[in-house]
Structure formats: C-alpha cells, structure tokens
Amino acid sequence: MQCKVLLCLYFLTIIKHVSPTEVWVRPHTSALLPCSISVPPVGDSLLGISWTFNGSHIASFGTTDDNHVDKGFSWDTSLFVNGTFSLTVLNATLDQQGVYECQVRYNVSELHSSNVTLDIKVPPTLSIPSTMVVLDVKSELQCIAEGFSPPLVYFSWTRAGEVVQLEQAVTAVDHTPEGTYWAVNVLKFIPLVDDQNVIYGCVVTHAALDKLLSLEFQLSFVYLPTVTLSAMPLPSRDSPLTLSCDIEGFYPEDVSVSWLQNGTELPAPLLSESGPDGTFRTRRYYTLSPEQRELAGEVECVVHLPSITEPVVTSAALADIDPIIETQTALTKSAKASVSLMCISLVLVFLLCFGFSWRRRDEYLEHQGSILGPTLFSVYINDVALAAGESLIHL
C-alpha cells in the first residue's frame, strides 16, 4: 500500500497542464469534450473532478464538491478509474460555444488541468441584394454571407468562370439574432456592353463547408432617363402653379420622384407607360401654392432608380418657366417696342409733311415766276417805252 501511495505521488509531480483542444460540431449534435490522464490514479476516494464554463461549475465529482452534472451535459463516472473524465454536451447550441476547463485533483493537489474550446460549425447562405448596374458607370455588387459560424469566411468573385477578384479573408463581427455571423463583400467595376448575358458569381469558402459555395447571376442593366421640367400655363399669378416633370427612356419601370424648392424637399403627390423601345415614360406634376410660387427661385425634379446611388436631376428657374413671369416680361418688351415704333412713325410723318410742304413751296415759286416775268419786262430806248413783245428790229 505504501508503494502505491509513493507511486501516486510520483505521478503527481510529472502530470501537469496540457495544450488546449478545439472541438467542432454541427448545431444540435452531441459534442465530446475530452479530459484524461495517461496514468490513472489508484482508486477514486481522493479524486476530485470539475468542469467549468463561463465561471460556473457545470459538473463536479469528489469529496470537496457536490456530485452533480448540469442539465444538457453528461459523463460516465465508471471511466474515472481509467483516467477518463470527458464531458458530453448534449444537443449543442450556439450559446454553448466557448472555453470549457477540466480540472482533476488527487487529495488536495492538482493532478491535471486542460481547456477545451467548443465551436459550432454552421455553413453560410449567400444572397445578392441587387444585380442592377448602369452601363459605363462605376457600379458595386454586394454579396452577403449570413448565418455562419465560426466568424472567418473567404470571398471571391468570378466572371464567366474566371476569377475577377481574388479571395479575401473576412472575420465577421456582426451577429444575426440567432447568434451566428454575417458579412458583406463588394465587387466594384464598370459594366460594359460585353457584360450583358454574362454569368457572374460570388464564391465563399468556410470551415463548415465541404466544398466551395457559389451563387451565380446575370447583371440587370439600368437605363437612366432624360428629365425635362416645365410649368403648366395658368391665368393669373394668384393661381396655383402646376409643374410638369417629363421622365423618358428609363428602365426598369419602378422609379420614385421627389420635388425640391430652393433645396428643400416638397411634400409629395404618381404612373408609367411603356415606350416603343422597351423603356418607360412618365409625367409627374407638382402644384405650387401661390406662396411657393411667389417665393420663386430654383425648382428641381429628382428621379431615383432602385439600387442606383446617384439620382438623375434637372432644374430650372421659375422665372424662366413660369408663364406669368414670361407674359409680364413679354408685355414689358412689347410696350417698349410700341413706344419706339410710335416715335419712329411720328418722325416719319413729320419728315413726310415737311417734304411735302417744301415741294409745294418750290412749285409755287416756279409758277409765280412764269406769270410775272413778261409783264415786268420793259425796254426804254430814247425814253420811249416799248411794249412787251414789240420787235426791236422794227425800230
């Protein structure tokens, strides 16, 4: 007996801490957390075993601890004499992931201590929120991996089966409500005409996957519209002003339109029709109140397309499109033109009258000269007056 005790004391001096162990299991399966020593102690009367998780004893055996095992765990005490103190986690769940500590004591001395990390392997699922891009405009595609554990995941992108973005490691930090992880990876590129009908793919590698996980898709091209802003003609300035926003050549059909005045969004009032080229057209109206109309300034029609960051915007000054302002401006110009024309007319009339009067004067003078000329003409020779028209030769 003394020999056995001495042998046991010898083993106590050589058995110490061992390297931590990692155990991976699928959700809702059993996980065996190993804990054993290579040389079993003699008997179990002085043996003490405990398993700790998150600072709480979940299983204990021995004289110093109450013999118990928490619900959801189990062990086989008949194996203790063989040096096996492993603990089984029944129906492992995500909230049971973490570090478990196994401690074995003989009498009052620590015989063994080891840590076991339990991880739940959950494979990810993939989704592409939007495949819409704009031709020849820098675009982004997002690939979302969610519902996976552990948090390390690898993303890559393919085009027509060829890798266009090399594998990138992402350590997820965001959790789903269930306790798993999710992560996002982005592909930035400029879509070209050649990309139409080409198969793109998001590829993911993860510890819970037996092979690569790939989600393939085709791009959906968005056609940006042309936008024209105008105002509906109204009889007076006190009438509400209705603005017209013509939106043409866009695809797909779903768009949203908002109105701004001087940078402030106006409370909003909607329908689209298909054009001959397969795109859609719509006209949206907004009626400015007399106060808003009087405020004047700049108005904008802003067109948003789904999954497109930058909206299509057109703007105009109310002074340029408000028919009342245009009419008043036109009347002012017309009045000025009328005054100018009247002045010119008066000058022309004056010149005509002056010219006519001058001509009558010349004609009158010529006429007087032809009548008075012979009667005033007299010739005196030797103080004898000759009658007008009388021949000098006769004299």
Taking only the tens place, the pLDDT of each residue in 149-165 is 989 999 999 999 999 99
Domain that holds residue 154: 125-222
| Same domain as 236, residue 295 | yes
Task: State residue 14 phi and psi, 5-degree precision.
Answer: -110, -15
| Same domain as 135, residue 115 | no
| Same domain as 144, residue 50 | no
DSSP type of residue 81: G
| Same domain as 72, residue 16 | yes
pLDDT of residue 392: 39
268 located within any domain: yes
Q: Give the span between the Cα atoms of 395 and 380, in whole angstroms.
A: 12
pLDDT of residue 76: 93
DSSP type of residue 94: G
pLDDT of residue 38: 78
The alpha carbon of 172 is separated from its chain's Cα centroid by a whole number of angstroms, namely: 23
Q: Token pair of 299, please?
A: 């108005």
pLDDT of residue 192: 94
| Same domain as 233, residue 163 | no
Residue spans of alpha helices (H) in the chain: 2-14, 290-295, 318-321, 323-375
Q: Please, is 53 exposed, middle or buried when counting C-beta atoms within 10 Å of its C-beta (0-12, 13-18, 19+)? A: buried
| Same domain as 311, residue 237 | yes
pLDDT of residue 334: 61
Q: How far apart are the first and last CA of the chain?
A: 205
Positions in the chain short of pLDDT 50: 1-18, 326-327, 329-331, 371-395
| Same domain as 113, residue 73 | yes
Handedness of CA 164, 168, 170, 176 (dihedral sign): positive
pLDDT of residue 6: 40
DSSP type of residue 179: S
pLDDT of residue 321: 86
pLDDT of residue 44: 66
Q: Give the span between the Cα atoms of 18 and 37, in whole angstroms.
A: 10
DSSP type of residue 230: E
pLDDT of residue 2: 43
Model-level pTM?
A: 0.60
